[in-house]
Chain A
């Protein structure tokens, strides 16, 4: 159990993180949400559930993922830093997971819950397609039919992932409503769910949505932070000075941060997508949004004065969402975690830097984290440690990057 005054003791019994979170759903879904919460509590107490989850993470996903000291990146960043400055940069290599991102951790956990609840059909939303691919993967693994909702605009710009999902046996439904991107895919998944509550489980891809999703997604993703904490202690005998992770909905970040929240000396930095700049089109809900209610939870949202939701923009489709998980909203207000934002251009520079100096092609999502690492490392002593989450690999992004760099491939 968590000690009193712990940052790890949330949400409360009603699913609230301070004023955020909650269960803002239509009445049709409410009984199912309550069932899910009961079943999740039971699963948490069940050693057999944990054993199956851990076994699949080890043998199917390939965990633990390595913790890697990025020596050349560290040296490169020190080149531009004052003497004695330039923190060591370490990466948690969740891009080496099966399917190429952290998303699979959560999908394994949720499909085990779905099976436990006797559900026979899976739905999910996806933006870039990473969560859709991860969901289609676990559905193939467990033999459950799978429908993935994806904004029609995202279907056009993420064809390789659409084909991957189809190969894995999923039905991909292009969503033509609204702006035809991630939030519209989520609306359509909710419409499907409300009409099929009797047999359908909705695998939400990030630590957002109605309670208990933010909690259970965080718990499934916390394997990232637990491993990283033990690995860094084992390798260096100490905790990191700073954790850095990119944030769309915020599942890889909360997965890294949560096991460290009560380590008071470990600072944390969440990195939102500043798109074309915070004064222009962006996806930084904390930096440029206000609290509101969308998709089942209260959190920071990009919205206008009348509460109409704004379109988000990021070069990274995985960060292209006008909201953020409610625990991040609360961690921001409480001051425990700092948040910053990185533009498309800065992320592209960081993407290329990591390719060149470390031989790692990162996804555009963690490229935002790497850009923030590059800023921060120079301000920190050379004996300090930054641990960043490399939450996805960049194979899916090479077409986007080529286009942004004006290269024809």
Chain B
């Protein structure tokens, strides 16, 4: 068992929470991560800022800019991760971001640095299975899960391609689009989750466009986990260095909704 797989054994869907590292500052990030855990997050997704986040909507784009303007570096992100691991030995931590910052010093360097920092998995938006050689082997050799994304366009035989080499969980991107925009129809999510669960034993987690406890509860009835990102990032944008308390309160409302998600049958 790994920290990541342990996050999905509870009798309720896992809550996966995203924030951008270094937003609003490197110094403020640890308290925000602690707030996610305090509010009930089961998995932490820590965004690695990038100058060109082409899969992200306005909220996370702005977070990337704030973080980079605040001077966050790769070394800062690794230190944030390592310190988080020391404070929270059991909470899985996943890095999410884009290929270029991850590959800058070579995939082996990156994988070793993540292992040293106690990071459990990586989501890389722009390394699809076709380019797995660029990152996948190095991560797997270091014992780090490469979490793959499936989308509404991942159909037919392609699903097998995506699942080959996948680890941790499968992240279902519920809308063809960018982060934080529209939400998918519940029926299309249910259909996709059923299809994915028929093809893999990995937990299936649903994200993109999830904002309210009710949405999270509805998705949690069918999925193994729910990702919330842009909505948390917007709280950080509004409250800056004082964001920890409102973030904890918001995450608490999500985790409370997920706690009873499976008590009502789908």
Chain A contact residues, CB within 8 Å of chain B? 14, 22-32, 177-178, 183-184, 186-187, 190-191, 194-195, 197-198, 292-296, 298, 301, 303, 305-309
Contacts and interface: CB of A to CB of B under 8 A. Distances in A.
A194 B177 contact: yes
B176 A178 contact: no
Contacts of A294: 52, 100
Contacts of B102: 307
Contacts of B127: 24, 293
Interface stretch (B33-41, B144-152, B229-237, B258-266): B144-152
Contact of B178 (A24, A191, A309): A191
A26 B176 CA distance: 10
Contacts of B152: 28
A292 B103 contact: yes
Given A26-B149, A30-B130, 17 more contacts: A24-B131, A26-B151, A27-B151, A27-B173, A29-B153, A30-B128, A31-B154, A178-B65, A183-B52, A191-B55, A292-B100, A293-B103, A306-B101, A307-B102, A307-B104, A309-B50, A309-B100
Contact of A27 (B50, B52, B58, B149): B149
What are the 10 tightest A-B residue pairs by CB atom distance, in nearest-first order?
Answer: A307-B104, A195-B177, A307-B101, A293-B99, A307-B100, A187-B54, A28-B151, A190-B54, A309-B51, A27-B149
A26 B100 contact: no
Interface in B44-87: 50-55, 57-58, 61, 65, 68, 73-74
Contact of A194 (B53, B55, B154): B55
Given A194-B178, A309-B52, A24 B99 contact: yes
- Helix, strand, loop or mixed for chain B's interface? loop
6 contacts: A23-B131, A27-B128, A28-B152, A178-B52, A183-B52, A186-B54
Which secondary structure dominates where chain A touches chain B?
A: mixed
Interface residues of B, number: 43
B131 to A, nearest CB: 5
Among the interface residues B101, B102, B154, B181, which one has the most CB atoms of the partner chain A within 10 A?
B101
A208 to B, nearest CB: 14
A39 to B, nearest CB: 16
Contacts of A186: 54
Contacts of A183: 52
B100 A30 contact: no
Given A27-B162, A292-B104, A177 B61 contact: yes
A54 B132 CA distance: 39
B153 A32 contact: yes
